[in-house]
Structure 1
Amino acid sequence: MIRHTLLFMVYELKKLFSNPVWPLFGIIQPVLYLLMFAPLLKSLTPGGTTVDALRMFTPASMMMIAVFGSLFSGFGLIAEIRSGALERYAVSPAWRPSIVLGRVVKDMVTLVIQAALVLVVAAVMGLRIGFVELVLVLALMAATGLFASSLSQGLALTVRDENGMSQTLNLFMLPIMLLAGLFIPIAFAPEWMRAVAPINPLYHAVEAGRALFAGDLGAKEIPIAFALFIGLAALTTWWSVRSLRKLAG
């Protein structure tokens, strides 16, 4: 089981890094957000310093990487469905869930690399975070990314069409981003948005990340975010594996 999952993970990583341009773009993008967008938030923070702005935006950028960096991973699966490669994998001696889980683990490895780079750049710019808080932030990011990656695989196996999948994702991306307070905290939003925001799971992840970067381990958003995304990750992983089994007959 573990061996087959690791085999598919390595296979997917080799495909990913066979063209280093796309992984490079995926790594550079969050760093550019940190360098160019975070300073714009200085006037919205109580202290008005770059560190205060980083403390507000860095956890949001990490959750943005976790969700939107993994949501598009299912497009490769659609290409393999169309070429017939996925069916050949499914009838091989490999453990079937490893076909999906290997891709999900690959996304987690990519997230770790991106998160490490973002944290290094934030540290160079002056941001500091405690060890316990850092571990919890990375764990929350992993749970969030696991949910997004599994959702993407399940959606790809269900829709099986790039246009349908891209339209579905684009429909929900903007409201999810705005209602999560990724760029500007929900505290600055109109009253109706503040009332609706808690319905969005990503809002709780972003608020929990900001609390952890502020050193507030007692914030109620932290257990709420972990409970939500561990549950959602388990549900979407089950759905993606079930969809694969249905496809393979």
Structure 2
Amino acid sequence: MLRHTLLFLGYELKNTLRNPIWPFFGLLQPVLYLLLFAPLVANTTVGGNLGDTLEMFTPGVMIMIALFGSLFVGFGMINEIRNGYLERLAVSPAWRPAIVLGRTMRDMIVLVVQAVLIVGLAALMGMRASVGGVALMLVLMAATGLLASGLSYGLALALRDENGMSQIMQFFALPLILLTGIMLPMSLAPQWMQTVAHFNPLYHAVEAGRSLFNGDFSNISIPLAFGLTLALGALTLTWSVNSMKKLAN
């Protein structure tokens, strides 16, 4: 089982290295947010300091990378279903869950590499975050990527249609982002938005990231974010793996 998963992981990583356009553009938008939006936020705050602003802003950007870097990976799988490639894999002697697990592990590795580059850029811009907090945030970001990629692969295997999948993604992506407080803290939002945001697991991930970057490891948002993200990630991954098994049958 492990051998098959690692074989698929190696294959997917080689494909990514041969065509790095998607990871590059996935990294470009967060870089622009750091370079253009973070200084704007710092200048609109009384006594604003760019380093402090980056400590607040960078964890949100990392969650944004995890969401958008993994939420659309299923589109490539739909094309593979259409040309019959995925069905041939599914009926091969390979362990079927490895087909999904290898892709998901690839997605998580790419996200972590992107996040390390973002953190490095933020540090060059003046951010001074807790080293241990940054390390834990990378784990939380990978778990968020697991959630998003599992959902994407599950939808791809269930719908098998790019148009339907894109409509669903666009419908949910914008509210999820707006209710995370990535751009600005949710404390600035109306009370009803703050209440709704607590039902968004990504909101708790962003709040946990900010606490981690500040070195506040006792904040209740940290275990809550890890618990929610890992539980939902396990559910979406199980769904995508079961959908792959149904494809083989």
Normalised-by-shorter TM-score class: over 0.9
1:7 aligns with 2:7: yes
Instruction: Tell me which residue corresponds to 2:140.
Output: 140
Q: Give the TM-score normalised by the residue count of structure 1.
A: 0.96
Instruction: Tell me which residue corresponds to 2:222.
Output: 222
Whole-angstrom CA distance in 2 between matches of 1:122 and 1:243 = 40
Whole-angstrom CA distance in 2 between matches of 1:44 and 1:207 = 21
Q: How does 1:183-194 map to 2 (within 5 A)?
A: 183-194=183-194
Instruction: Tell me which residue corresponds to 1:163.
Output: 163
Q: Residue 107 of structure 1 aligns to which amino acid in structure 2? A: D
Q: Is the 8 A contact 1:147 1:234 kept in 2?
A: yes
Deviation at 1:214, TM superposition (A): 1.4
Q: Aligned pair in 2 of structure 1 residues 127, 83: CA closer, same or farther (>3 Å)?
A: same
- Stretches of structure 1 that go unaligned for 5 or more consecutive residues are none
Deviates more, 1:237-246 or 1:37-46: 37-46
Q: Aligned pair in 2 of structure 1 residues 76, 34: CA closer, same or farther (>3 Å)?
A: same
Q: Aligned pair in 2 of structure 1 residues 177, 105: CA closer, same or farther (>3 Å)?
A: same
Q: Is the 8 A contact 2:26 2:68 kept in 1?
A: no
Instruction: Tell me which residue corresponds to 1:17.
Output: 17
Q: Give the TM-score normalised by the residue count of structure 2.
A: 0.96
Instruction: Tell me which residue corresponds to 1:40.
Output: 40
Deviation at 1:209, TM superposition (A): 0.5
Q: How many residue pairs are counted as aligned between the two chains? A: 249
Instruction: Tell me which residue corresponds to 1:119.
Output: 119
Whole-angstrom CA distance in 1 between matches of 2:45 and 2:201 = 24
Q: Aligned pair in 2 of structure 1 residues 44, 221: CA closer, same or farther (>3 Å)?
A: farther
Other structure's SS at 2:218 match: coil
Q: Is the 8 A contact 1:45 1:53 kept in 2?
A: no
Deviation at 1:222, TM superposition (A): 0.5
Instruction: Tell me which residue corresponds to 1:75.
Output: 75
Deviation at 1:46, TM superposition (A): 6.5
Identity of aligned residues (%): 61
Q: Aligned pair in 2 of structure 1 residues 119, 228: CA closer, same or farther (>3 Å)?
A: same
Structure 1 runs of 4+ with >3 Å offset: 43-47
Whole-angstrom CA distance in 2 between matches of 1:23 and 1:136 = 22
Q: How does 1:95-110 map to 2 (within 5 A)?
A: 95-110=95-110
Q: Residue 16 of structure 1 aligns to which amino acid in structure 2? A: T
